[in-house]
Amino acid sequence: MSPHSKLLLFAAIALLPSAIWYWHADQVAEKFYPHHFFGAGGIRIESFWPYWQIARQTLTSSLTPLLSLMALIGLLVAPRMKYSRFFIGGWLRWFFSSSSLATAIAICGINSHSYRSPRRLQAPLAPLSGSKNFFACHRCDFVDSAREFVHNPCVLVRSTLYQSSAAQLRDAGLELKKVTPPDALIVAADMGDPTIFYYAERKGWHFLEKDAIYNGNPDDSEQAIENLERLRHRGATHFVFTKNTFWWLQSYPEFVAHLTKNAKVIEATPEFRIYELITVAR
């Protein structure tokens, strides 16, 4: 097989599945409200602050300071130098070039909620051949050697220091799947994280909501009450708090009183609280 044919085959394997997937996503977005394809809020250049948040989170947490330093050094190391694979030089150039544009113009669209982890990278605009596949073609030499070195320490750190930030969201979602009918519409005070809806296999809204987009925390109880009543009139059947929004119970007492009057608690644990709303005519 000629080099040209190999390149075409590689491009097809790397890009064709993604192209088919996004064509399918576009068809779905055209049929269902609110018709978001590139995420809530569309695509636009954001202010400086969100980009700084991504950079800080990546350098200090996602990669850790040590790995970030190695990666930055790797930018200056030629790919075929003796120690280049140790500094992740070759693939990092491709990764930065393919993802930086995506981050710049799609941060609002994909990250309308706060940035939390690399899995929220703007995948629709990041060429897979630039990040994952190019790295894979270099046989993951660095990762293989590093994995062998840190195998036991990683297990120790994970078991003693790591705690899933989404565990309560997952548990609430699984419980909602058990206690609600398939056509239930859930209102979730979940900080815009989709985990509850994924595990519940139910439709609904992040709370607060505006034009089907997560709209942050309430300014006051009055805003929360207005938002909830609007969703009740649109057919909302259940409301859920998780541990990361239990602070609402103290911060918005009038809203909690209104919720208690118009709903009943059907499940309550230290991780989440599920209400069944009194439905109203649409």
What is the average pLDDT value for the chain, to the nearest integer?
74
Eight-class DSSP state of 126: S
pLDDT at 6 over 80: yes
Residues 263 and 280: their CA atoms lie apart, in Å, by 11
Q: Distances from the Cα of 8 to the Cαs of 5, 19, 124, in angstroms?
A: 5, 15, 21
pTM value? 0.56
Measured between its terminal Cα atoms, the distance across the chain in Å is 64
Burial string for 46-66 (b: 16+ CB within 10 Å, else e) reads: beeeeeeebeebbbeebbeee
Percent of the chain at pLDDT above 90? 35
pLDDT at 108 over 60: no
Percent of the chain at pLDDT above 70? 62
pLDDT at site 105: 52
The tokens for 76 are 């200056």
Question: Residues 112-152: pLDDT tens digits?
Answer: 444 333 334 444 444 443 443 434 444 444 444 444 444 44
Amino acid at 135: F
What mean pLDDT comes out for the span 251-262?
Answer: 96
Do 216 and 207 touch, CB atoms closer than 8 A?
A: no
